[in-house]
Amino acid sequence: MRRLTLILAGLCLSSPALAAVNQQPIEPIDVPPSVEQGLDMVYIDRSIAPSMEARDAQLHELGFEAGRAAPIDMFLPVHPLYTDLRRGLVRYEMEYGNLPQVKIPAGPALKLNSTGDRVVLLRQRLGLPDGTKFDAPLAAAVKKYQGVHGFKADGIAGAGTVDSLNLGYKHYENVLLLNLERARRLPRTTETGRYILVDAGSARLWMYENGRPVDSMRVIVGSHATETPMMAAQLKYLSLNPWWNTPPELVQKSVAPGVVKEGLKYLTDRDYEVLSDWSENPKELDPATVNWQAVADGKEDVRMRRGPGPWNSMGDMKFNMPNDFGIYLHDVPDMERNLFDKDDRWISNGCIRLQDAHRLATWLFGKLPHAQGATEENVDLPDPVPVYVTYLTAEAGPDGPKFRRDPYNRDPALLARYFDEGKQQVAAFNP
C-alpha cells in the first residue's frame, strides 16, 4: 500500500473542514494499489477498516480463480450481490461459453435480409444453423445478445455489436470476475444493523437492514472528470438548511466572470457571500475589495458560499460522512429533480445527489427531521451508519447477468493487469 497525505483535492469542496487541508496536516490514508483502477475500497473510518481489511486479506488469498472455480459464498460469508453475480457467471457460461469464438470482419451493419460471408460468421458466432441470410431467428439472437451486453436491443448488428462479439466470451467472463471481486469487498450477509450502499456504476443507492435491501433510489454521481471514489465511511450527522460552499473551479469559471460582466449585483441576486478563508469561523469580506478579473483568470482565489434557499445546490439537507475526499450525500433544488429521470446520471462534481433525500432521512432517523430556524443546523445520528460506495459494471438478475457501460473507464486497466487483456482491445467495448 502507498500512503497519501491528501487523496484528491476534494471533489465537492463544499466543507470548510475539507478545504482547510491546505492549512493543517491530515492523518495519512492507506490507499490500495488498485484503487485508482477501481477495485479496492478506501476505508475512511478505523471503526470500519479493521474487520473489512481482515476479511479482504482472506479474499485476496483466494484470488480471481476462486471465483471461477468454487462457490466462495458456500463457505465464507459475502454480500448478497456476490452470490447473485456468481450465479450470473454460471448462467453466462451456460449461455455463451460454448459458442464458436469466430471473428466477424468490419463492414456495414447487418440486419434483416442481409446476406453474405459476414452473415455466415454471425450465425456461427451466435450458435445458429449454417446459412447466408439474416433471418428472423438471427435478429432475435442478436437482440438477445445486445440486451445482455449493454446495447440497444434493436436486432441490428452494427459496428458496436460486432466489436463486442469479437471481444469474445472470455472477456465478459473476466468482467464478471472483476465485479465479483468488487462485490466481495462489501459487507457480509451476517453483519447486522443498517448501512447504505451506493453503486456509482449504476448511479443507484440502497438502504440495507440486517444484510438485505429495504429501499432504493436513483442518485447522481461524479462525472468521468470528477469520479466518485470507491470508499467506506461513517455517516454521522445531517445538516438541515445547509450552506453551499462553492467549489473554487466554479468560482473561477462561473461566478467571477458573472461579476465581471454584471457587477456586484450578480452576487446579491444569488445570495452569495465572500469569506476570508476556509476556517470554521471565517470573516465576511466586502465583495468590492476582491479583484474579480484576477479570480476569473485563476490568479487569485476566494472562498464563497451560498445561503440556504431554493437556489441552493444542497437542497434542504446534506448527509455528512467526514472524509478527505470531500464526498457526501445531499438533496437537490426542485429545479434539478428532473435530472433523475435521465439515463445519464454521471454529472456531479463527485458528491452523491439523492433522488429523495427526505425518504433517506426518515429511514435514518425514524422520522423526518425539521430545522428550528432558517440557517444551517446539524443533527447528529444516534448511531453512525456506514456508507459503502462501490462501482459495478455488471449486474445479475433472474435471467442472468447484464453488462453495463463503464462510465469511468476503470475496467480496461484492471483487465490488462489481472488477465493480460490488451488495453486497446478492451477499450473497444464501452457502448
Q: Is 351 a catalytic residue?
A: yes
- Provide the whole-model pTM: 0.84
Which is the catalytic residue, given 79, 149, 171, 351?
Answer: 351
The pLDDT, as a whole number, for residue 424 is 45
- For the chain, the distance separating the N- and C-terminal CA atoms, rounded to the nearest angstrom, is 33
What are the distances in angstroms from CA 99 to CA 123, 132, 242, 401? Answer: 10, 18, 56, 17
Q: Give pLDDT, residue 64.
A: 58
Residue 120's pLDDT is 98
Active-site entry in 60, 171, 330, 370: 330
Quote the pLDDT of residue 62: 58
Give residue-wise pLDDT tens across range 328-337: 999 999 999 9
Q: Beta strands 194-199 and 377-390: pairing type? A: parallel
Helices (H), 230-375: 248-250, 256-262, 265-269, 292-296, 357-365
- Determine the pLDDT at residue 349: 86
Q: What is the pLDDT of residue 26?
A: 30
Please count the residues of the chain: 431
- Low pLDDT (below 50) residues in the chain: 1-11, 13-29, 69, 424-431
Angle at the Cα of 212 from the Cα atoms of 341 and 197, rounded to 5 degrees? 50
DSSP state of 208: E
pLDDT for residue 161: 98
Instruction: Return the axis-axis angle of helices 49-69 and 80-96, rounded to nearest 10°.
Output: 20
What is the residue type of 190? T
Q: Mark whether 370 is an active-site residue.
A: no
H-assigned helices in 107-243? 117-125, 136-148, 159-167, 169-184
Instruction: Look at residues 431, 430, 385, 388 and name the one whose alpha carbon lies nearest to residue 412.
Output: 430
Residue 216 has φ and ψ, to the nearest 5°, of -155, 155
Instruction: Say which residues have a Cβ less than 8 Å from residue 393's Cβ, sequence separation at least 6.
Output: 175, 178, 179, 201, 403, 404, 405, 406, 410, 411
